[in-house]
Amino acid sequence: MMAVADEGITGNSSSSPPSPSSRRPKVVNIGALLTVNSVIGRSVKPAIITAVDDVNSDTSVLGETHLNLILHDTNCSGFLGTIEALELMEKNVVAAIGPQSSTIAHVISHVVNELHVPLLSFGATDPALTSLQYPYFIRTTLNDHYQMSAIADIIEYFEWKEVIAIYVDDDYGRNGISSLGDWLAQKRAKITYKAALTPGSSANSVSEALSTVNLMESRVFVVHVNPDTGLEIFSIARKLGMMTSGYVWITTEWLPAMLDPSDLSKLDFVASTILQGVLSLRQHTPNSNLKKSFAEKWKNIKMKETPSFNSYALYAYDSVWLLARALDMFLKSGEGVTFSSDPNLRNTNGSELQFSALHVFNEGPQLLETILSTNFTGLTGNVQFDQDKNLVHPAYEVLNMVGTEFRTIGYWSNSSGLSLKSPEKQDPKPLNRSSDTKRLNSVIWPGDTSVKPRGWVFPNNGKPLRIVVPYRHSYKEVVTKDVSSPQGVSGYSIDVFEAAVNLLSYPVPRTYILYGNGVRNPSYNNLVSAVADNTYDAAVGDVTITTNRTRMVDFTQPYMESGLVIVVPVHKSKTSPWAFLRPFTIEMWLVTGGFFLLVGFVVWILEHRFNEEFRGPPSQQIITIFWFSFSTMFFSHRENTVSTLGRFVLILWLFVVLIINSSYTASLTSILTVQQLTSRIDGIDGMISSNDPIGIQDGSFAYNYLVQELNIAESRIRPLKDKADYINALRLGPNNGGVAAIVDELPYVEVFMTYTNCEFRVVGQEFTKSGWGFAFQRDSPLALDLSTAILQLSENGDLQRIHDKWLTSRSCPQATEIDTNSLSLSSFWGLFLICGIACSISLGIYFCRVLCQYRRFNPDFEESHDMPEPDSARRSSRRILSSASFKDLMEFYDRKEAEIKEMFRRHKRQVNGHNDLPG
């Protein structure tokens, strides 16, 4: 429609051009570029005309100056749009509203750059238009850079890793999808395939593109096309069975714009059927009073075209008001509106094109600066630009098509990410886009299900999963070639993988491919790299999860715990008939025997006067001392102790005997059973400090670990092929061309021990903590599902049963270098000292007591029964006592304690009786 191309549309204003000499023109020409006969154009055209009328009716803006609108139809063509733009520039417009197409905006931007005419676009969302190449292009709608960020957040929220992009192959589509790819990369997701459609694609072209993507793995489709052709994609997808359960469809804001959100009740039944479960974004505009007033005014608009109300109409309306307010400030500042010829546009070489009719807007730079600094509240909210010339506070509504209407399930804003609250209701706070704050309401997906789609399936194109398997030379119990097996491979790792796959809720077509020649173990680093570079889809086997490998591929949950350990040869110590004497040194034996006799003698002394068991003929008493002394070694003494001091000494001595017995038993057990290392390596520290050669399994990651992490010289490392090489190298030792120790993973070592009859031992502790896992290409969804399956195998016991089937192991005690030197006196002298002090104290107390009794003792006690001795006689007795012989003392000591006490009592009674006689 071009009927209005040559005439101005004004709100009660003159169509005459403004006078260049006037500082405050009565009329200012502005242009409008849009595709009138389009979904967006039919909505935008009346909005622009209404905005011009409202501005001209409002004397608070522009005063006596009126806007003269000159509208040109671009017909959605870059070529025609350029011609229409040139014709529009001939009318000396100070600014242009539009265009709605990003493709046309790229071309027209070069024209306005030359003529210094600001271009305010309400519909060109291509992120590339914000570049410095287009200084006069001003986007008055939201940049697709933000829309693609919102879509990436949605994909991350639902934990999908791969998407397929369906887009129109023009500036709008290509640059938008490129921005989406950048956002997804930040979230460890990716676009696995880009299905490009030519502008105005035929139904056959769309059908071919959809048939192609339907054979691929991903089931998440992002559709970024033009509103006029987008609905046909879903119509064809429904015919191909792609609008059923398991599929995910996400569209950009073109879909709500096409369906006219203000009139959803009148949607065609077919449209509401084919779009069920689709997610879409819509530019968010707050429900302000201005917006409600405009909606009421919209109902009264009568035009030839059927009116349709969408967000582009709001942005177009605000674009006119933005220009009007900027012009008002521009004119109030004293600036004028003047045009001049461009010397670069003179007709040359006889050209018939009327370039001389184009004029440069002299005050264009000043007006551009004024527009970018303008700040006001319009129908779309706050109209203000940031330093990149984008509208501040971009926000979108997340919509879900259910029945015949779009249901809002959440919002997205640049400050908060996904949220259940609309942006204007959110509390102002710093950027917080953690996954904990991202929320959406429940979604009804295609197929009328609320269960979140997995987002991927195995491709239905006849290509099974390519699984690489290491062709091992050693430890074939883990994984190896097996021609008798249906898979062509077998082993512990294969059984675990097959059991995990059988737990999945979907089939996994697969084929196993051997890696290596079977003569020697393959390089596992190269095997993982082959998965990373897409030579294979996955690696199944004893692949250790290391830091470097996790940077290349994704691993499942470990199905086998592992870690590096050190294996060394050992030998048993030789025994002899006199081995029972080795626990103690000669000094220890002599001191121990001496203390047995000493304690026996001390107890005899302490018990002799009190205990009948410690009395008798001298020969019997000597035997009693020896018997009692050595019977305490086994706690089998039959003699009872009755004196307090005797019991004190015996209890203390029995404690000493307990310690000596326990130490003797432990030392003798160690001597008879100990296995000593034949290598100087007794752990990781000994291995690092040693210069002896070390064996590793051929192809193992242990080589890099020892060299790079432990700084062990490469010349010390000896790759070994199989268990026979292990045994031979360890038996030969470092001095005969063998190795001092072998470093390998614990599962291999456990299997190795079953073949060696415990001839070798593990020393030290595991010095790495890792595990075996299945490797997949980065972001493969199968890795997550198989991890869950492996955990289920572990919980129900199947993982252990598979382990016991293939990897039976023999338990061998861990070897340690035990010091088999005899126990010396230095380890026990404290006990003997305590015991000796206790004996000395007890004897001292005892003899003091005996001497006290002996000083009171008088031999005449037994002869004198009638008359008491006079004082002179007592003094004579004491003199006799002081001169008594040692023989008399021994005779006194030999008497029983009971007899002595009875003698003292009898003498006391006699003395008391004589004292009572009359004088």
Summarised one tens digit per residue, pLDDT across range 136-185 is: 999 999 999 999 999 999 999 998 989 999 999 999 999 999 999 999 99
**Sequence spans of domains, the chain:** 27-139+290-383, 144-286+394-419, 579-673
Confidence label for 344 from pLDDT (cuts 50, 70 and 90): confident
Give bridge partners of residue 34 from the DSSP assignment: 73
Tokens of 861: 């006690």
Q: What is the pLDDT of residues 355-381, one digit of tens each?
A: 667 889 999 999 999 999 999 999 999
| Residues contacting residue 101 through CB under 8 Å, at least 6 positions apart | 35, 74, 76, 81, 123, 124, 172
Tokens of 647: 């019991």
> What was the pLDDT predicted at 93?
94
| CA distance between the termini of the chain | 168
Phi then psi for 334, rounded to 5 degrees? 100, 0
* Strand residue runs (E) in 414-481: 417-419, 465-470, 480-481
Pick 100 or 847 by higher pLDDT: 100
Q: Report which of 566, 818, 567, 578 is spatially closest to residue 675, judged by C-alpha positions.
A: 818
Most confident of 75-89, 457-471, 481-495, 653-667: 481-495
User: pTM for the whole thing?
Assistant: 0.68
Look over the chain and give the mean of its residue pLDDT values, rounded to a whole number: 82
- CA–CA separation, 819 vs 582, rounded Å? 13
Pick 198 or 642 by higher pLDDT: 198
Are 27-139+290-383 and 144-286+394-419 in the same CATH fold?
yes
Least confident of 3-17, 83-97, 426-440, 904-918: 3-17
pLDDT exceeds 90 at position 126: yes
pLDDT exceeds 90 at position 24: no
Instruction: Give every strand in the sheet of 190-197, ordered side by side.
Output: 190-197, 162-168, 220-224, 248-251, 279-283, 395-402, 405-413, 417-419
Pick 556 or 7 by higher pLDDT: 556
Alpha helices in 200-249 (DSSP H): 203-214, 227-239
* Number of residues written out for the chain: 919
Average pLDDT for residues 259-275, to the nearest whole number?
A: 62
Fold of 27-139+290-383: Rossmann fold (3.40.50)
Confidence label for 385 from pLDDT (cuts 50, 70 and 90): very high
- CA–CA separation, 574 vs 571, rounded Å? 9
Q: How many CA atoms lie within 13 A of 909 on its CB side?
A: 7
Q: Report which of 396, 388, 381 is spatially closest to residue 318, judged by C-alpha positions.
A: 381
* Strand residue runs (E) in 510-660: 510-515, 538-544, 554-555, 560-562, 564-572
Tokens of 19: 């006078």
> For residue 570, what is the enclosing H or E element?
strand 564-572
Helix (H, G, I), strand (E, B) or coil at 845: helix
> What was the pLDDT predicted at 507?
84
- CA–CA separation, 563 vs 556, rounded Å? 17
Asked whether the CA dihedral 499, 500, 501, 503 is positive or negative, the reply is: positive
| Residues contacting residue 143 through CB under 8 Å, at least 6 positions apart | 125, 127, 130, 390, 391, 394
Pick 94 or 309 by higher pLDDT: 94
Confidence label for 810 from pLDDT (cuts 50, 70 and 90): low
- State the helix-helix crossing angle for 78-89 and 102-115, rounded to 10 degrees: 30
pLDDT exceeds 50 at position 870: no
Superfamily (CATH H level) for 144-286+394-419: Response regulator (3.40.50.2300)
pLDDT exceeds 60 at position 9: no
> What was the pLDDT predicted at 676?
57
> What was the pLDDT predicted at 833?
82
pLDDT exceeds 50 at position 509: yes
Pick 366 or 756 by higher pLDDT: 366
Average pLDDT for residues 656-685, to the nearest whole number?
A: 74
> What was the pLDDT predicted at 398?
96
- Quote the percentage of the chain above a pLDDT of 70: 78
* Strand residue runs (E) in 573-614: none
The 8-class DSSP code of residue 661 comes to H
- CA–CA separation, 805 vs 500, rounded Å? 16
- State the helix-helix crossing angle for 289-298 and 311-332, rounded to 10 degrees: 110
